[in-house]
Amino acid sequence: MSGRDPHRPLDHGIAVLLAAVALGLYVRTLAPTVLAGDAGEFQFAPYLLGIAHPTGYPLYLLLGWAWSHLIPIGDVAYRMNLFSAVWAAATVGLFYLLARVFLNQTTPALRPTLSRTVSALAALFLAVTPTFWSQAIIAEVYSLHAFFCVLLLYLLLKGSERRDKGRLLAAVGCFGLSLSHHRTTLLLAPALLTYLWLTDRTVVRDRSWLVRAVLLLFLPWLLYLYLPWRAPHTPYLHLPLTEGRELVLYDNSLAGWASFVLGGPFGGSLNFSVDLGERLIMAGSLLRDEVGWVGLFLALFGVVHLVVGALATRSRSETLSGSGVSRWALLSLTGWVYLLTVGFNLVYTIGDIFVLFIPSYLVIILWMAVGMSVLVQRIHRRRLMTGFLGVAFLVVIVDKGFVHYTTLDQSHRTEVRRQWGTILSQPLPPEAILISNDRNDIMPMWYLQYVEGRRPDLLGLFPLITAEYPTLGDILDLALSTGRPVYLIKPMPGVEIKVEIRGEGQLVRVLGLAGDREPEHPRQERIAERVRLTGYDLQPPEPYPGQELLVSLYWEAICPLETTYHTFIHLIDAAGQKVAQSDRQPGGVYYPTSQWRPSERLRDEHRLAIPKETPPGLYQLLVGIYSFADDGELQALGEPVVIGQIEVQASDRAEP
Residues 572, 471 within the same domain: no
Is residue 1 assigned to a domain? no
Where are the alpha helices (H) located in 180-275, listed in sequence order? 189-199, 202-205, 207-218, 226-230, 254-261
Residues 171, 300 within the same domain: yes
The last residue of a domain, from among 458, 489, 513: 513
pLDDT value for 313: 65
Query: How many separate domains does the chain show?
Result: 3
Count of beta carbons in the 10 Å neighbourhood of residue 501: 19
Is residue 375 assigned to a domain? yes
What's the order of all strands across the beta sheet hosting 521-527?
A: 521-527, 531-539, 548-557, 601-609
State the amino acid at position 77 in one-letter form.
Answer: A
Distances (CA, A) of 384 to 120, 231, 388, 389: 19, 63, 6, 9
Is residue 486 within 8 Å of residue 432, measured between CB atoms?
yes
Quote the strand ranges of 119-190, DSSP E: none
Residues of the chain by 3-state class (helix, strand, coil), percent to 5 = 55, 15, 30
Domain containing 617 equals 521-653
Q: How far apart are CA 591 and CA 495, in angstroms?
A: 6
Q: Is 628 helix (H, G, I), strand (E, B) or coil?
A: strand
pLDDT value for 274: 85
Quote the strand ranges of 277-379, DSSP E: none
Residues 104, 208 within the same domain: yes
The last residue of a domain, from among 454, 488, 513: 513
DSSP type of residue 598: B
Q: How far apart are CA 196 and CA 157, in angstroms?
A: 10
Q: How far apart are CA 183 and CA 348, in angstroms?
A: 13
First to last CA, the chain: 99
Is residue 141 within 8 Å of residue 182, measured between CB atoms?
yes
Residues 436, 546 within the same domain: no
Residues 497, 363 within the same domain: no
CA 116 centroid distance within chain: 36
Is residue 480 within 8 Å of residue 472, measured between CB atoms?
no
What totals of helices (H) and strands (E) does the chain contain, helices first? 20, 15
Q: Is 354 helix (H, G, I), strand (E, B) or coil?
A: helix
CA 491 centroid distance within chain: 24
Adjacent-strand bridge partners of 572: 578, 620
Q: How far apart are CA 232 and CA 219, in angstroms?
A: 24
Backbone angles phi, psi at 199, to 5 degrees: -105, -40
Q: How far apart are CA 397 and CA 446, in angstroms?
A: 39
> What is the Cα gyration radius of the chain?
31
Is residue 261 assigned to a domain? no
Residues 148, 127 within the same domain: yes
pLDDT digits (tens, 9 = 90+) for 482-529: 999 999 999 999 999 999 999 998 899 999 999 888 899 999 999 999
Is residue 164 assigned to a domain? yes
Is residue 587 within 8 Å of residue 619, measured between CB atoms?
no
Residues 468, 529 within the same domain: no
Is residue 25 assigned to a domain? yes
Taking phi over 0 as left and psi of -120 to 50 as alpha, with beta for the rest, 512 belongs to left
The last residue of a domain, from among 493, 513, 533: 513
Adjacent-strand bridge partners of 557: 531, 598
| Residue 570: CATH number of its domain | 2.60.40.770
Residues 346, 477 within the same domain: no
- The residue among 170, 177, 173, 149 whose CA lies nearest residue 58 is 177
Q: How far apart are CA 214 and CA 203, in angstroms?
A: 12
Residues 22, 129 within the same domain: yes
State the amino acid at position 432 in one-letter form.
Answer: A
In this structure, is the dihedral angle defined by the CA atoms of residues 243, 249, 255 and 257, taken in order, positive or negative? negative
pLDDT value for 654: 46
Q: Burial of 232 by CB count in 10 Å (0-12 exposed, 13-18 middle, 19+ buried)?
A: exposed
Is residue 37 assigned to a domain? yes
Q: How far apart are CA 333 and CA 338, in angstroms?
A: 9
Count of beta carbons in the 10 Å neighbourhood of residue 221: 14
Residue 566: in which H helix or E strand, if any?
A: strand 566-572
Q: How far apart are CA 119 and CA 147, in angstroms?
A: 17
Q: How far apart are CA 84 and CA 63, in angstroms?
A: 11
Is residue 178 assigned to a domain? yes
CA 590 centroid distance within chain: 20
Residue 247: in which H helix or E strand, if any?
A: strand 245-248
Residues 402, 503 within the same domain: no
What's the pTM value of the predicted model, to 2 decimals?
Answer: 0.89
pLDDT value for 2: 42
pLDDT value for 267: 64
Residue 555: in which H helix or E strand, if any?
A: strand 548-557
CA 452 centroid distance within chain: 26
Q: How many CA atoms lie within 13 A of 316 on its CB side?
A: 13
Q: How far apart are CA 98 and CA 334, in angstroms?
A: 12
Stretches where the chain sits below pLDDT 70 are 1-7, 265-268, 313-325, 380-390, 392, 652-656
Q: Is 317 helix (H, G, I), strand (E, B) or coil?
A: coil
Is residue 310 within 8 Å of residue 327, measured between CB atoms?
yes
Residues 155, 37 within the same domain: yes
Residues 217, 99 within the same domain: yes
Is residue 294 within 8 Å of residue 394, measured between CB atoms?
no
Torsion of the alpha carbons at 275, 280, 282 and 287, rounded to the nearest 10: 170
Residue 87: in which H helix or E strand, if any?
A: helix 76-106
Is residue 91 within 8 Å of residue 106, measured between CB atoms?
no
Torsion of the alpha carbons at 23, 24, 29 and 33, rounded to the nearest 10: 70
Q: How far apart are CA 538 and CA 484, in angstroms?
A: 32
Residues 6+ apart with CB under 8 A from 389: 372, 375, 376, 379
Is residue 170 assigned to a domain? yes
pLDDT value for 8: 75
Q: How far apart are CA 124 and CA 129, in angstroms?
A: 9
DSSP type of residue 649: P
Residues 6+ apart with CB under 8 A from 168: 155, 156, 159, 160, 196, 200, 203, 209
pLDDT digits (tens, 9 = 90+) for 171-197: 899 999 999 999 889 999 999 888 888
